[in-house]
Each structure stands twice: as C-alpha cells, then as structure tokens.
Structure 1
C-alpha cells in the first residue's frame, strides 16, 4: 500500500542528503514537498498541517542544523513523528480482563471485510490460548451467517447457531449464556453492516452495547476507501465510543491516507491490520514499525516474529537430529520451503528487510520467486524417498520421470540439484561449528531463510 508514498518521500530525502549542510530554507522546501506528498496520499488536511508543523519545529532546531548529518536527523524526526501520528506508545492490546465470556463487538460498513476479520481475530485469540465463540449477529445480509459458519469450519472455531430474521440483540444474549455453559471465554460479535450509516443500524448497535457491555468495540475500516474510512470511523466513534480500529486490506494499492489519519482524527488506537486474504493475515499494529516501512527502512522485528510463529520448535529440534544423523537432504530442503511459505509471500518478506525493497524496484521486470518455490517443491515431491535422501542416484531416466511427474523440465531439475549441492556444502561447514552453530542455524529456519 505504501509503495508510492515511500517512493515520493525517498525522493524528497534524497535531495536533502545531497545538500550536505542544511539551511532553514532547505528544510522548509523539503517540508513543503512532504506536505504535498501526504496530501496526495489522501491524508487528512488537518493531520498533514499538524504533522508538518511538528516536524518543522524539531527540524529547525540548532542541534539538527549544526549536526554532522543533518539530513539523517531530519529523516529520523519524520520517522518519529509518523510513529507518534499513528499512535506510538499507546497501549493497543485487547482488554480481556473482564469475567469470561468477554464480549468483543466488531462494527463497520458493509464490504469492509468485517466478517472475515471476525474469523481472523478468532484465530489470533486461539493462538493466545483463548477459546473464542463466533456469533453471527448480521441477520440482514443473506450470506453473512453462512460465511461465518464456513470460516468457523476452516478454523476449527465454534460458531453459534442463528437464523436470518432473528433479533440480533437476542442472538448475542443467548450466545453469551451458551458460552457461559460451554466454557468459551471470548465472544466475537459479527454485527450488521450497511452501505451507509443510518439510525436503524446505529440503534441496533446501541442496544447490543447496552445489553452485553462489550469490553472491546472494534471498528473495521477498509483502508482502500481512504478518507471515507476516516470519516465513517469518526461517526461510529461519536455514537458508540469505539475502543479501537482494525484496518483491513492494507496489502492493497490504496494511497495509505486512512492508516496515517485515522488514529489522529478519532483518537482511538489501531489495534490490528489485515495484510492479506489468508486467515492468518491479521497482524498486531505497531506504529513505529509501520513508520519504518513507510520510509523504506524495513521491519525486522515483525519478520522475526513471523519466523518464530512459522517454525515449530519441536519440528526444528527434530530436523536438527535428522541433520546430524542423515546430513542435509532434499527432504530437509522441502521442509524449509514449507516454513517459508507460512510466513507469507517472498515479496512481503523482502519488504521487511532493510534495503531489500529498494533493490527490488531497481531491478526491472524482477520475478519474485514464489512460483519458483512452488516448482521446487513439486520437483522434490515427485521424487521417491530414496531419491530425496540421496540425490546422487538421480540419473537421466530418473530425472526424466521426475520432470514429467512435476510438470517441469530436466533443465529445471538440473538447476535445483546444482543449487542444492551448494547448500549442502554450506551445511557441512555449519556442522563443523558444532552444536552451537547448528542450533543458531535451525533457530533462523535453515540456510534458505
């Protein structure tokens, strides 16, 4: 989402770096360009005005203008103010301290991704050892209840039974009693959305709030709608006093104005962001990390967290034992590829590595290796267990059979074996480092991470 914004800000900062010593005129000119860039990104006008004023006040200080690297100082100030704008230092954790079952109400306009977000949130809570119950309280959209039931089956999360035409408030009250009797500690209420805000919708939400007293009221905003998302969030907040915001579709190609404006306009923290269509693509929001992404600085902490979540400790320990006993085989290689796939696309991974995103843009028509990884996995899966354990037995006829079975060519197989042989040599060097070297390697996911 922030690619265009990042490119334009980088262009502004490149001019600053070329100035050497900065003058007040240099800083003012740069901030005029920053202002235009943010307005073009659909950031709220008042938010832009306050942001530029805050950066100007800090950037024109003598400690910046007289420093040895004034351009870097200005960039740091912009990073700090972006993080502050999006809520750095604000506690954005869910409040689940009430007596269970704790109600969490999700609200928003139709089409914002609210029902899918309910499923994503249930998965996130279950990973935190919670036992959520999904409650379909949208009785007006015909497919809403069925959609939530489908998500529940995919996730292995229980969905409370409800029918179109029932009173949404009664559904929520009955679901709470059901949760109390059956050991569920969290209620996720999927309320009805509309194409526009109306009194009937808001009145219904008021009644649910009054009856269940939800610990969290989360407004789900479609980041693709830009300033409209901010305006609607403000209206919902004035009526319901929401406790936080979930931004969906942040992996889209919108200009990013909603993400930069919504916290400042509503005064409520962004708690989660949806980063893709997969049900595990709901990330806890960190303002400082998002600021770094916007400025092209990467996001190493999130990358580490994704790696830790994708790599099962028991499986890693088992792989370490196999490596010691059998050496590095194509089976190990395939296991590592599957771990990488759990972390997301290669494009999203590379964007979290400082500097990698810029290099990707510099290489025209660069093909990211997601398809290549699928091809490699198909080739290895088409081998027999014996061939995966000892690639040296792969003669011409075996390679022809594997190529037909995987829908690839013999050339593809030859390239894979060559790469694998190089990786195998690296693994032998790592083994010479002893247990500590091997442990560090496995903690990082292996030589292909």
Structure 2
C-alpha cells in the first residue's frame, strides 16, 4: 500500500544521509520533496502542509543541523511526526468491550468489505482475546447477505443469530441484544446494511439501530483503495451516527495509502484495524509506530516477532536450536524452515517487515522470486527418501534425476536447493562455535521461543532493526550482499512463470 510513498521518501533521505552536515536550505529542499511525495500518495493538502511545517520547524534547529548524524536525526523526526499523524496526541484507546454483552456496530458503504471484516473481527476477539462472540446480520436488502455471515460464522466457529425472514433491522438488533444477554456472550457484532452511496434511508436505518442497542463501539469499515473518498465517507458517517473507530480494508493492495495518513488528522477518529488480505485471520491491529517504520523502510521487527510467535511451536523450536548448536542441518530442518516462512506470509510478507528490504525490491524482482519457489523446494524435499533427507551427501547423479523427476522439476533446481542447504549448514556451524546461538537463546529466555514483543525494550528493538538491516555474510541472493537465512541460492531457483 505504501510502496510508492516509501520509495519516494527513501530517495529523499538517502540524499540527506550522504550529505554529512546539513544547512537549513538542505532541510527545506528535502521537505519540499517530502510534501510532493505525500500529495502524490493522495494525502490531503492540509495534512501534508501541516506535517511538513512541523517537521521543518524541528529539523532546522541547531541540535539537528550541527549533529554528528543530521540525516538520521531528520529521519527520526519524520518518523515521530508520521506516528503522531497516524495516532493523534492521545494515542489509540482499546476497544470498549468491558461491560458484557458489549454491542459493536459495523457500518459502511456497500462493497467496503463490511461483512468479511465482521467475521475477521469476531475471529480475532474469539481466538486472541478469549471472548465469546455472537454475530448478527442486519442487511435485509442485499441478496444472501445474512447467509454469507452465517457461512463465515461456521467457517470460523463463531455463533450467528438465527435468520427470521421478514424482520426489520431494528427488530433483528433487539433480538441479538436479548440473545447475547441470555446466551452469556461477551460481545455481539451487528453487521448493518450498506448502500452504494450515503443517503437518508441508510442513515435513518443506522441511527435507529444505534438508538436501540447503544453500541459501545461504532466501527466504520472503508475501502483503503478509495483514497480521500474514504475520508469523506468517514466524516459523513461520524456526523450522522458518531463513529468511534475506523477499519481500513484492502491495505495490502496497490493504492497510494493517503487515506490512512489523512484519516486520523482529518476526522479525529482512530484507525482500529487494517485488513491485509482475504483470509479470515488477515486483520491486524493498527500500530502507528510500525506503519511509520514501514513507510520509511525501517521494517517492522515487532510484527515479525509476533508473526513468528504465532506459527512456531516452542518445543519444536527448542529441538531445532539444539541441533543447530551441534552444527546439524539436514533437509528435514530446511523443510521446517521453509514451512515456517510460508506460515509467516511467504518471502514477500517477511521481507516487507525486514529493515532495508524495500530498497532491494528491484533486485528481488529481477531475480524472479515469488512464493511458488518455496512450494517447489518443499516438493523436491518430499521426493527424497527418509535416508536422503537425513543425509543429503547420499545424493549422487542417479538419485538427483529420480528426485527431480518425482517433483516435476529440473536437476538444476535440486542442485540450487542442495547448495542452499550446505550454505545454511555451514552458517549454523559457525554460529554454534562462536556462541552466537547460545547468546540468542539467552536473549530469548533460555529457550527456543521468541521474546514477548510487548516486553522488549524500545532501544533494543531499534538496535535489532539496525543490525538486521545491515546483516552481512549470510547466504543470500546473488548480488545483494547477503540476506535472510533460508534464502541462499534462491537467485537461480527458477523464475516466475
């Protein structure tokens, strides 16, 4: 979503950091470019103007222009201001679901992804916060809207209010309120009807439902790809029914991202969540500091750690760490690493969170890499016998031909996979001898698990981000000066087809 803006800002700041000492004219010239970049990203003129004004005032101070690292100081100021724009001065308050059963009203225009978002939020509240949730569809206009929510409820294991033909939205809302109270639910989500555009009928209906249940939260679902139109929709709904938060959908798309940057500043309403895909678990809490880091190419170490926590089993990780300490790394270990990468969003998802990887995008695209590579690598490993996976040294010419044929791939791709396994094995041996793995384990509480991001010191996170951004000597993509463990040799492993 922020790729274009990130590229533009990255170019501006690269020039700043290379200049050494900065004059006020240097800063003002850079800020003019930042303003153009924001406007091109569909940020509102007022927000862009105020943002640049605040940054310029702080960045032209003597403490910055005479600093040893003035370019980095300016980037820090821009990061902090971006965070303020996205979060507001008071920050992001938690959802008000402390008085069960708490009603949450989902509103928005037709086609914004409101019903799917209702299901995603229900799944999140159930699995991550341990809440008992009831969903109810109030959309009596759109064909099969109620059935759609019922199907989603079955898929994610969340109860939905039984459908009673002929009932009006207000009556359905009242029935949901009664059912939630009698059934001991913590939260009930009301998925209201939408329209192609805002009209009086829509607003009257939502206002009646609002008055009937007195929701603790009224979340407006808007399509992030609509740019400044999304901001205008938010203003209209807030004026009519009082919005308490915003959910931006399709934030994984190729829009310009201006809605996210303008929403809080223009409406004063917090962005609660962002939809990052079609899957039912693709709803993320909106974290201003992390979004600001991604925009500026600083990566998102906390999100990467959290994602890893979700997919890694602690016991399996402990066993693997012990093997790594002994310098053991066979095809079974490599397959486990590849599967974890898939669960964490594939190569593109992981790289989006890694510091500095945005600058490598062209090189990555030029190498023809995509997530189908992971599937092909796993297919090759699955074509091996147990003995071959445990001891790749057994793989001579005849065995290689059999394995490649079984996976429907070329021997050359198998050779690339074996090269990657050897590189990673060598790296594990070096890290084990140097005590690096032991140090990593001590940082993680002495176990194979990952640290709790909420308890990590901000300074340590920033240092980790810088260290990851400058990793050298790891097996990586050719011509890219090292890279992520597990990506060695990928540069020759097939091309996008």
So what's the TM-score if we normalise by structure 1? 0.90
- The Cα shift of 1:259 comes to 0.6
Distance 1:372 1:210, change over 3 A: same
1:419 maps to what in 2? Answer: 420
What do residues 328-377 of structure 1 show as CA deviations (whole Å, max 9, x unaligned)?
Answer: 44333323322221211311211211112212235562323411111111
Q: What are the equivalent positions in structure 2 for 1:1-80 lying under 5 Å apart?
A: 1-80=1-80
Separation in 1, partners of 2:128, 2:439:
30
The DSSP-based 3-state class of the residue aligned with 1:283 is: strand
Separation in 2, partners of 1:397, 1:183:
65
What do residues 22-48 of structure 1 show as CA deviations (whole Å, max 9, x unaligned)?
Answer: 333333322222222211211112112
Separation in 1, partners of 2:402, 2:155:
36
Distance 1:85 1:435, change over 3 A: closer
1:236 maps to what in 2? Answer: 237
The DSSP-based 3-state class of the residue aligned with 1:11 is: helix
Separation in 2, partners of 1:295, 1:323:
34
- For the aligned residue pairs, the C-alpha RMSD in angstroms reads 2.9
The DSSP-based 3-state class of the residue aligned with 2:366 is: coil
Unaligned stretches of 5+ residues in structure 1: none
Distance 1:442 1:382, change over 3 A: farther
Query: Which sits farther off after the overlay, 419-428 or 215-224?
Result: 419-428
Distance 1:320 1:362, change over 3 A: closer
1:210 maps to what in 2? Answer: 211
Q: What are the equivalent positions in structure 2 for 1:145-184 lying under 5 Å apart?
A: 145-162=146-163, 165-184=166-185
- The Cα shift of 1:448 comes to 3.6
Aligned residue-pair number: 448
Separation in 1, partners of 2:372, 2:352:
18
What do residues 316-335 of structure 1 show as CA deviations (whole Å, max 9, x unaligned)?
Answer: 34656888999544333323
- Contact 1:133 1:160 (8 Å CA) reproduced: yes
What do residues 350-409 of structure 1 show as CA deviations (whole Å, max 9, x unaligned)?
Answer: 121111221223556232341111111122233344543444455555544433332222
Separation in 2, partners of 1:91, 1:239:
23
- Contact 1:427 1:447 (8 Å CA) reproduced: no
Separation in 1, partners of 2:431, 2:28:
53
Separation in 2, partners of 1:345, 1:434:
26
1:135 maps to what in 2? Answer: 136
1:334 maps to what in 2? Answer: 335
Q: What are the equivalent positions in structure 2 for 1:189-208 lying under 5 Å apart?
A: 189-208=190-209
So what's the TM-score if we normalise by structure 2? 0.82
- Contact 2:314 2:448 (8 Å CA) reproduced: no
Separation in 2, partners of 1:437, 1:387:
32
1:388 maps to what in 2? Answer: 389
1:227 maps to what in 2? Answer: 228
Unaligned stretches of 5+ residues in structure 2: 452-483, 488-497
2:279 maps to what in 1? Answer: 278
Distance 1:377 1:194, change over 3 A: same
- Contact 1:142 1:164 (8 Å CA) reproduced: no
1:443 aligns with 2:444: no
